[in-house]
Amino acid sequence: MLFISCVVWLTACNNAATNEAKPADSTAAPATAAAAPKLEYPYKLKEPYANWQPGDQQHAVNVMKALQAYEKGDVAACMAYFADSVAMHFDYLDTKLSKDSLQKFFAAQRSGYTSLEVNMNDWESVISENKKTEYVTLWYKEKWMDKKGKADSIRVVDDCKIVNGKIAELDEKIQHFPVAKK
């Protein structure tokens, strides 16, 4: 009786494995074979869509190391991650700076804070399908205390264009938080 039970059990297991291994009905159309509808985008691009792909995660690490060095007040260490010339796009600022001028700019900006804290929300490293354009985007909250003792914070989105492994463009978007109602 035990022998017969084992044979039945083994046969059932073998049939289940055989059924799982059988290919799907070849007459059924695969889900990916259906043609995607042509999308009509409401805006036109000056250049064709880059079809962004996942990028080099080391670039994300390097951009975050630059931000962390700035956060800690080590502007010299921050500069190691920047190219010799950097396009800067900030609120009320749109310029291109040499690395020396950028270091002076960052040092002056950072010297206005007694403390600075970055709380990272997310990041993404992407590269265009043709492999010619790379960006790292960071989403974070920045909190600080200025030299007058005033605390403040903002939400930040940084888009960093990467050229030859260095930050060649820093495009920063910020959102101020509403003043708390009393």
pLDDT digits (tens, 9 = 90+) for 153-162: 999 999 999 9
Confidence grade of residue 181 (pLDDT, cut at 50, 70, 90) = confident
Q: Tell me the per-residue pLDDT of 56-71, one tens digit each, with 9 for 90 and over.
A: 999 999 999 999 999 9
pLDDT (mean) for 38-53: 93
Q: Mean pLDDT in the chain?
A: 87
pLDDT recorded at residue 30: 52
pLDDT recorded at residue 33: 59
**Cβ contact 152:131 at 8 Å:** no
The count of domains in the chain is 1
Residue 8 has pLDDT above 50, yes or no: no
Residue 35 has pLDDT above 90, yes or no: no
pLDDT recorded at residue 36: 84
pLDDT recorded at residue 12: 47
Residue 44 lies in a domain: no
Residue 182 lies in a domain: no
pLDDT recorded at residue 57: 98
Residue 141 lies in a domain: yes
Compute CA distances 69 → 46, 49, 73, 172, whole Å.
36, 34, 6, 17
Residue 7 has pLDDT above 50, yes or no: no
Residue 12 lies in a domain: no
Q: How many CA atoms lie within 13 A of 72 on its CB side?
A: 9
pTM value > 0.85: no
- The percent of residues above 70 in pLDDT, for the chain, comes to 82
Residue 74 lies in a domain: yes
Residue 27 lies in a domain: no
Distance CA(70)–CA(75), nearest Å, equals 5
Residue 1 lies in a domain: no
Residue 156 lies in a domain: yes
Q: Which amino acid is at 86?
A: V
Give Cβ neighbours of residue 87 (< 8 Å, ≥ 6 apart).
95, 96, 161, 168, 169, 170, 171
3-state SS class at 60: helix
Residue 16 has pLDDT above 60, yes or no: no
- The percent of residues above 90 in pLDDT, for the chain, comes to 75
The more confident residue out of 86 and 21 is 86
The residue segments making up the domain with residue 67 are: 53-176
**Residue 98: which CATH number?**
3.10.450.50
